[in-house]
Amino acid sequence: MSTQDTTNTPVSEKSMRKVAMTSLAGTSIEWYDFFIYGTAAALVFPTAFFPEDMPPMVGLIAAFSTFAVGFIARPIGGVVFGHFGDKVGRKAALVTALLLMGFATTLIGLLPTYALIGPAAPLLLTLFRFSQGLAVGGQWGGAMLLVTESAPKHKRGFYGAFAQAGAPVGIILANLAFLAVSALCSDEQFMDWGWRIPFLLSVALIGLSLYVQLTLEDTPAFRELKEAQESPNLATAQQSTKQASEKPVATSKTESPVLMAIKKYPKQILLGAGAFLAVQVTFYILIAFLIAYGSNPAGLGLDRDLMLAAVLISAAMQIPGLFIASAWSDKHGRKGVYMLGAVLGGIWAFVMFPLIDTGNFWLIVLAMSGGQIFLSMMYGPQAAFLAEMFSTEVRYSGASLGYQLGAIVGGGFAPIVATALWKDFGTIYISMYIAAASLITLVCVIMLTETHGTDLDDV
């Protein structure tokens, strides 16, 4: 069989399920590592890695500031791994990102506290958090393209949701880990050493990365790209049959994919980042800020485990929302369900805090679940939506840049902004913050072109 025949052979349903489940496992554990940091930043890090005489609110903001460092690193990770993924392969970039995350998170679990090593503790914590950000900045593009570039066109949104579902699954795993440790330890033990256990469990990523390396092939679209680059005459002949409006086949091996993406797709990158804004702002307020708001004596003063359980249940509600919204986008287009999610999420922001402020557990769950479901209407189709905006030779770089720029502007600073707004003005301004992000997302999606039905095999 020729190389051409191999690259164009459709991925079987059985192989597609294997790719989808591997992508889900990889993103779940990777996001678990990223999210346990947010939970620990709300519960442990203000006292463990900062001076004891620091006021509680200042310590919380300082801890959330190190949380934000991970988001600052994410676009850098998107650039580095995007270049790597477009040049060397989706699989190689994904494996490297998984290994980096596994080692960085494990080292956080072994890090001495401020009481033992002084100012070196927050400095090292920041360094390892930066490494986490680099890893997650590269992981998403690899896992997302592994499924979307392998999936049949009519199921691309649905299979893309497997990569997206890693985020809520990661939250569930992170909160279950903290709830289990909290149940087995006294409060003193939890603050002393118990919180480290969830971080040390991330060594599982090393085993998963080896599994991906040994058992999965790269995507058909990337293999076809490499064949086109290695056979310029064939690429030229293929290009002559395409319409002039289509993107040319990439034959250059020297030009940076990141620079090519910025040069060819500046509008898609910037609008893709804006389209992600509401998802990130809402998401990190739900999973990080609300834990601190609910359990902090200056807030509701509720039991820590109650807030963790509420986050866990609401994250579980996001999972079916992701698949339903993504399957809908396969039939009716990406933009409609995305815009509806932005509108409903902006409205729900003004319902959420009155429900949470009742202190009733099930009303808190309802408030968080509504937010998670509405953001799933945007986050679910997003994998296919972003993948379809870019041609194969820059797809990893372009999609990662759009995703990670939205992440740093939206998610990285959301807990800090929310804490400052709560401290100085009250929670109504947090609702206005979410609504403003939703409006920006709505406008950006309106300005983007519908991508439903795009052929990803067109290099």
Per-residue pLDDT tens digits for 72-83: 888 888 888 888
Q: How large is the average pLDDT for residues 363-390?
A: 94
Rounded to a whole number of angstroms, the distance between the first and last alpha carbons of the chain is: 22
Q: Mean per-residue pLDDT for 145-167? A: 89
How does residue 251 score in pLDDT terms, banded at 50, 70 and 90? very low
CB proximity list for 197: less than 8 A, separation 6 or greater: 109, 177, 181
If you average pLDDT over residues 279-308, what whole number do you get? Answer: 84
Q: Kindly tell me if the per-residue pLDDT of 199 is higher than 60.
A: yes
Predicted confidence at residue 423, as pLDDT, reads 82
Distance separating alpha carbons of residues 363 and 355, to the nearest angstrom: 6
Q: CB under 8 Å, gap of 24 or more: what pairs does 108-113 form?
A: 108/37, 108/132, 108/199, 109/196, 109/197, 109/198, 109/199, 109/200, 109/202, 110/196, 110/200, 111/49, 113/48, 113/49
Q: Is the pLDDT of residue 342 over 70?
A: yes
Written as one letter, the residue type at 90 is R
pLDDT for 11: 65
Q: How high is the pLDDT of residue 356?
A: 93
Asked whether residue 233 is assigned to any structural domain, the reply reads no
Q: Tell me, what's the pLDDT at 458?
A: 57
Residues 6+ apart with CB under 8 A from 21: 162
Residue 258: inside a domain, yes or no?
yes
Average pLDDT for residues 399-407, to the nearest whole number?
Answer: 87
CA 141/CA 258 separation, integer angstroms:
13
Question: Does 76 map to a domain?
Answer: yes
Rounded average pLDDT over 299-328: 89
Q: Are 45 and 101 in contact (CB under 8 A)?
A: no
Domain membership of residue 128 (yes or no) is yes
Are 96 and 81 in contact by the 8 Å Cβ rule? The answer is: yes
Q: What does the pLDDT look like over 25-45, one tens digit per residue?
A: 888 887 888 778 877 877 788
Report the C-alpha gap between 363 and 351 in whole angstroms: 11
Query: What is the pLDDT confidence band of residue 228, given thresholds at 50, 70 and 90?
Result: confident
Q: Domain for residue 433, yes or no?
A: yes
Q: Is the pLDDT of residue 242 over 60?
A: no
pLDDT at 245 over 50: no
**What does the pLDDT read at residue 31?**
80
Residue 75 contacts residue 129 (beta carbons within 8 Å): no
The residue behind tokens 């898609």 is 268
Which of left, alpha, beta for 118 (phi over 0: left; psi -120 to 50: alpha)? left
Cα–Cα distance, 382 to 347 (Å, whole number): 21
Question: What is the rounded distance in angstroms from the CA atom of residue 55 to the CA atom of residue 130?
Answer: 25
Neighbours of 420 (CB within 10 A): 16
Residue 425 belongs to a domain: yes
DSSP E strands in 400-451: the ranges are none
Q: Which domain holds residue 54?
A: 11-228+252-447
411 close to 280: Cβ distance less than 8 angstroms: yes
Q: 187 in a domain, yes or no?
A: yes
Six token digits for residue 399? 């999609």
Q: Give the whole-angstrom CA distance, residue 165 versus residue 144.
A: 11
The model's pTM: 0.81
User: What gap in Å lies between CA 156 and CA 220, rounded to an integer?
Assistant: 14
The pLDDT, as a whole number, for residue 340 is 97
382 φ/ψ sector (left φ>0, alpha ψ -120 to 50, else beta): alpha
What's the pLDDT at 232? 57
For the residues 357-380, what does the mean pLDDT come to?
95
Closest alpha carbon to 430 in 340, 311, 350: 350
Distance CA 395, CA 406 (A): 17
Task: Provide the CATH number for the domain around residue 388.
Answer: 1.20.1250.20
Among residues of the chain, what percentage have pLDDT more than 90?
30
Is residue 239 scored above 70 in pLDDT?
no
Residue with tokens 């990080």: 288
Q: Which of 176-180, 221-225, 299-303, 436-440 has the lowest mean pLDDT?
A: 221-225
Q: What is the 3-state secondary structure (H, E, C) of 5-44?
A: HHHHCCCCHHHHHHHHHHHHHHHHHHHHHHHHHHHHHHHC
Alpha helices (H) in 231-288, listed in sequence order: 232-240, 257-264, 266-284
pLDDT of residue 246: 45
pLDDT of residue 16: 85
- How is residue 426 annotated by DSSP? -
Residue 1 pLDDT more than 70? no
Please determine, for residue 155, whether its predicted confidence score (pLDDT) is greater than 50.
yes
Q: Which residue has the higher pLDDT, 424 or 53?
A: 424
Query: 210 Cβ partners below 8 Å, 6+ apart?
Result: none
Confirm if 79 and 329 have CB atoms less than 8 A apart.
no
Predicted confidence (pLDDT) at residue 150 exceeds the cutoff of 60: yes
pLDDT value of position 3:
39
Mean pLDDT over residues 160-167, rounded?
91
Q: Is residue 235 part of a domain?
A: no
Number of domains in the chain: 1
Q: Which two three-digit tokens encode residue 160?
A: 């893309």
Structure confidence at residue 249 as a pLDDT band (50, 70, 90): very low
Poorest-pLDDT segment among 156-160, 215-219, 332-336, 374-378: 215-219
How many CA atoms are closer than 13 Å to the CA of 393, on its beta-carbon side?
Answer: 25
Which residues are CB-neighbours of 362 under 8 A, at least 6 positions away? none
What is the pLDDT averaged over residues 157-163? 92
